[in-house]
Amino acid sequence: MFKKMLHQIRGLLLSSISFAVSPKLVTYARNPPNSSTLEVGDSEGNGYDSHCLSWRLAVEANNVRGWRTVPARCQQYVERYMTGGQYERDTELVVDEILSYVDRIVLPGDGMDAWVLDVDDTCISNVTYYKGKRYGCDPFEGAGFRAWAGKGECPAIPGVLRLYKKLIGCGFKVILITGRDKERLGQVTILNLHDQGFSGYQQLIMRTPEHKGQNAVAYKSNVRRQIVEGGYRIRGNVGDQWSDLQGEHVGDRTFKIPNPMYYVS
């Protein structure tokens, strides 16, 4: 009799444990219906588009390369990521890591410690333009982007502006490097940056005819080589594209700002 009761109790306990760890309960525990982490549904109507989450992670890790457009099924996912708050949270986390590194740097006091920052979607945002491109699902179109950039209305990315002011305040020389054409967009870019709080930088370097035919990696490598040959020590390098952070003279440390909307090689 006693053994039979123990057997029944054991069965009840096992049933309780099975219920507690059922897949459905685990899923809801990790992603409750009202959670901010619940993603936009995929093209098949599923509640959580794991494909697009995995795709974005692969993009940020530089495992997916050379892509021309965001997958069509991921338009809503990328839109929500860029406009729903997660992009800002991710960027702020990166900036916090950069600032932690900055606080550990001891400046020798000769004024030759520099930071290199990219401009588009690092310092200032083009999300408004890419909204019209379905957040990267439509191919990049140069004339349209120049028309947008020519308005001088790109807003600052708050976290990077916070970093920029910290770097200037600490005595670093900040050098901005952009793929924008100097002849067409030079003056409007200077004004746009100034209006958004980016003033006091050491230099803004833009593409000129001498850079014709160079891809982003070659162009930025050559520019950084000139910076180093000028006696500067590049203590850090920040960009939203891997091509900002690859090549020669990349600096003591590199930091990538998230960007799942486009790829520059």
Helix (H) or strand (E) holding 4, with range, is helix 2-20
Q: What is the CATH number of the domain that holds 133?
A: 3.40.50.1000
The residues facing 177 across adjacent strands are: 118, 205
What pLDDT score does 49 carry? 83
Structure pTM?
0.83
The per-residue pLDDT for range 50-72, each reduced to its tens digit, is 999 999 999 999 999 999 999 99
Low-confidence ranges of the chain (pLDDT < 70): 1-48
Residue of 162, 154, 148 lying closest to 238 (CA atoms): 162
Q: What is the pLDDT of residue 33?
A: 39
Measured at the CA of 187, the angle between CA 247 and CA 162, to 5 degrees, comes to 60
180 within domain boundaries: yes
In the chain, how many domains are there? 1
State which amino acid sits at residue 150: G
Asked whether residue 62 is domain-assigned, the answer is no
Provide the token pair at 114: 């520099």
Question: Is 187 a member of any domain?
Answer: yes
Domain hosting residue 238, numbered range: 74-256
pLDDT, tens digit (0-9, with 9 covering 90-100), for 135-159: 999 999 999 999 999 999 999 999 9
Phi/psi region, residue 91 (left: phi>0; alpha: psi -120 to 50; beta: rest), is alpha
| pLDDT (0 to 100) of residue 100 | 98
Q: What percent of the chain has pLDDT over 90?
A: 82
Residue 159 lies in a domain: yes
C-alpha span between 229 and 144 (Å, rounded) = 36
Distance separating alpha carbons of residues 231 and 228, to the nearest angstrom? 5
> What integer pLDDT is reported at residue 186 of this predicted model?
98
Q: Does residue 230 belong to any structural domain of this protein?
A: yes
Instruction: Find out whether 237 and 244 touch, Cβ atoms under 8 Å.
Output: yes
